[in-house]
Structure 1
Amino acid sequence: MLIGYARVSTNDQNLDLQRDALSKAGCTRIFEEKKSGRAGTKRQEFYAALAYLRPDDVLVVWKLDRLGRSLVEMMRTIDTLRRQEIKFLSLTEHFDSETAHGRFALQMHGAMAEYFLDLNRERTMEGLKAALARGRKGGRTKKLSAGDIAAANALLKAGTIPVSEIAKRVGVSRTTFYAYFPSARASQQHGKAASAT
């Protein structure tokens, strides 16, 4: 059985083109939705289509990117379908898991996805090494200890040292400092406005 899945990203876009192509391909059931393909987006109809599929069924999409925004995510979905003995067909790119050519093309896409993942990992590691060589450590921004917060509060109340200097003394960026002391930003903006008049 051919099961279609059609998706557009916004309510302004029209599903007619995909719907017509899927019907012409012979889909007996078409799941449709207007949702972004971004990772983390809840695509109820997409998950409903996956749950509806049975071994030997074929999931048909108008274009490969209807499965998701990321190549890695798309390949993961196709691999999951393969393990469940469900076939896959993309009408625009002619990716058909039933043919040798289609399987080869999908494997090439999978290899590319893996290559780009590895490349991103390598770039991240190289960036962290370069930052470490300059004395900076990667990872999350430093959190202020209770002692740092108490000291910063005292300095803020004294009002003799600029916020940037207090942030430097406790070892965080000004942005991180404002996350802990939002009132410091407001009072600084108020001070700037007063001095401008």
Structure 2
Amino acid sequence: MNQRIGYARVSTQDQHFDLQRDALLQAGCGVIYEDTASGKNAMRPELEQCLKALRSGDTLVVWRLDRLGHSLPDLVQVVSDLERSGIGFESLTEKIETVSAAGKLVFHVFAALAEFERSLIRERTHAGLAAVRARGRSGGRKPKLGEKQVREIKALLRDPDIRVADVARRYGVSRTTLYKHVGVIAPRQWDMA
């Protein structure tokens, strides 16, 4: 027997599932999985359980598209995986579903737009890096420590009474950053405390 299974997500503990739950129940969902997780958070344990529970012929129902995916490419990936498994998808607010031919067409237009967006981002990133390299710089973050600071730190660390942790605190960086900029420093017994 084909089931309509609902999935609801709120971002914080302060938010409530009531609106989504009511809409999903009204849409005929007998089971509803609920996650409290930021949209950017990839860890959504209830969604994982929901996806495992779905069988060919079932339909996954969400209140709104943004409840399922944390980005358009992520949403497209989830729905494509469902489609390959013979599972339908329906978003109540946007009135999008992948059970009918027309619904599949609309969703595939979304998928094409997501792929286009990824290509544009990739092109802009490559163009930006090329422009930076043409000016003699490399991409990425600026180093946390300048050359003068590195020289000062090396001079300080020659003194066996000065702890690496104290120098790191003085320059506002971690010990790992010091090791990275100054080179490998043999651990001194009192630095281990």
RMSD of equivalent CA atoms: 2.7
1:47 matched residue in structure 2: 48
| Residue identity in the other structure for 2:153 | N
* 1:2–1:27 CA contact under 8 A, matched in 2: yes
2:161 matched residue in structure 1: none
* 1:58–1:89 CA contact under 8 A, matched in 2: yes
Q: CA deviation at 1:35?
A: 1.5
Find out whether 1:21 has 2:23 as its counterpart: yes
2:57 matched residue in structure 1: 56
* SS across alignment from 2:32: strand
* SS across alignment from 1:5: strand
* 2:61–2:90 CA contact under 8 A, matched in 1: yes
Q: CA deviation at 1:141?
A: 6.2
2:9 matched residue in structure 1: 7
* 2:69–2:78 CA contact under 8 A, matched in 1: no
| Residue identity in the other structure for 1:38 | K
* 1:156–1:184 CA contact under 8 A, matched in 2: no
Which one has the bigger helix percentage? 1
| Residue identity in the other structure for 1:185 | Y
2:74 matched residue in structure 1: 73
Q: CA deviation at 1:34?
A: 1.7
Match of 1:185 among 165, 171, 176: 171
Q: What is the CA–CA distance in structure 2 between the aligned matches of 1:7 and 1:109, rounded to whole Å?
A: 21
Cα 1:86–1:153 shift into 2, 3 Å? same
Q: Could you list the runs of 5+ residues in structure 1 that have no partner in the other structure?
A: 159-180, 187-197
Q: Could you list the runs of 5+ residues in structure 2 that have no partner in the other structure?
A: 159-166, 173-193
Cα 1:27–1:126 shift into 2, 3 Å? same
1:153 matched residue in structure 2: 153
Give the length in aligned residue pairs.
161
Q: Identity, % of aligned pairs?
A: 45
Q: What is the CA–CA distance in structure 1 between the aligned matches of 2:88 and 2:168, rounded to whole Å?
A: 54
2:177 matched residue in structure 1: none
